[in-house]
Amino acid sequence: MTQATEPILQLRGVDKSFGAVQVLHEVDLSIYPGQVTALVGDNGAGKSTLVKCVAGIYNIDAGDYLFEGKPVQVSNPRDAAALGIEIVYQDLALCDNLDIVQNMFLGREPKSGIVLDEGQMEIKARDTLASLSVRTVSSVRQLVASLSGGQRQTVAIAKSVLWNSKVVMLDEPTAALGVAQTRQVLDLVRRLADNGLGVLLISHNMNDVKEVSDRITALYLGRVAADIPAADVTTGQIVELITSGRSGEHGLAPAVAQESA
Ligand SMILES: Nc1ncnc2c1ncn2[C@@H]1O[C@H](COP(=O)(O)OP(=O)(O)O)[C@@H](O)[C@H]1O
Ligand SMILES: [Mg+2]
């Protein structure tokens, strides 16, 4: 697996509340270039909230946000996109009645004044899919309605790397997929990292997590219970970290784990 370098993206001591309810407590998160970091945790642990803080959809209440080692202000999704941070949502934001090219360029004002025409968009869409070794899509002019769940996820992921992104975060990308399609999507997730991107993968499937990730960050009731190389823990230990915040020498101190629960 890839050698750890400096994180491309780092959060330190992040708090986030909704009204009186504190959802994230002093969360540290590091995403490394060329690596898949898995973000795991039970329902309600705060995974989606954390990803939305990174993506600028929510503003953090406290803590530091560093990108490429420098403090940055990410107040909205536009700020995140400008840094090259993309999010692939659980519920895919693709339009059935549009084709692959149209979907990949949907909602994107061209950056730096470059306006692409249809022909150029088609070429860019095809090149992007090719760069990710996607061979399961026969034509980029296919309507998204005609695609399988796995192909749709593939298009959503390709869309996220269309603009030279540096960090891609995926919230449960395989949740609705069968075995073969899950395989395709996991291969693609791995390839994103192998192409040098920093990848954050939220998943409930511990086999997927063990297989595809380099590091694992476990959230327990809004606190980071562990941030460890994937090779250092078993699937059983990850499950324990998720359900109790502790496993052997890993995890929150007993007092903290109990106080949180
Ligand atoms: N917009 C919101 N307003 C109020 N509470 C929220 C909001 N979003 C999430 N929460 C609460 O924050 C907690 C964490 O939710 P979430 O981040 O979705 O967890 P996960 O993705 O790990 O399942 C939950 O208790 C949830 O009810
Ligand atoms: Mg969630």
Mutational pocket test of ligand 1: of 15, 17, 18, 169, the residue with most ligand atoms within 8 Å of the beta carbon: 18
pLDDT at 179: 84
Using one digit for the tens of pLDDT, what is the confidence trace for 193-218?
Answer: 999 999 999 998 898 999 999 999 99
Taking the C-alpha atoms of residue 157 and residue 160, their distance in angstroms, rounded to an integer, is 5
pLDDT band at 91 (very low <50, low <70, confident <90, very high): low
- 184: Cβ below 6 Å to ligand 1? no
What distance in angstroms lies between residue 13's CA and the mean position of ligand 2's atoms? Answer: 20
- The pTM assigned to this predicted structure is 0.90
Q: At what angle do helices 149-160 and 179-194 cross, to 10 degrees?
A: 10
pLDDT at 109: 58
Mean pLDDT computed over every residue of the chain: 89
Ligand 1, closest atom to CA 50?
Answer: 17
pLDDT at 90: 61
pLDDT at 138: 84
Tokens at 246, concatenated: 């502790």
Percent of the chain topping pLDDT 70: 93
Residue 92 scores a pLDDT above 80: no
Amino acid at 74: V
Lowest-pLDDT range of 18-27, 123-132, 213-222: 123-132
Residue 244 scores a pLDDT above 80: yes
Give CA torsion, residues 247, 251, 256, 260, to 10 deg: -80
Show me where the domains of the chain are located: 9-91+166-260
pLDDT at 2: 47
Residue 237 scores a pLDDT above 80: yes
**In this structure, which ligand is nearest to the CA of 40?**
1
What distance in angstroms lies between residue 23's CA and the mean position of ligand 1's atoms? Answer: 7
Taking the C-alpha atoms of residue 151 and residue 215, their distance in angstroms, rounded to an integer, is 26
pLDDT band at 3 (very low <50, low <70, confident <90, very high): low
Residue 61 scores a pLDDT above 60: yes
Domain 9-91+166-260 listed as CATH 3.40.50.2300? no
217-227: average pLDDT: 97
150-163: average pLDDT: 86
E strand intervals along 36-164: 36-40, 62-67, 70-71, 85-88
In terms of pLDDT, which residue wins out, 163 or 16? 16
Using one digit for the tens of pLDDT, what is the confidence trace for 94-130?
Answer: 889 999 999 988 877 555 556 678 888 898 899 888 8
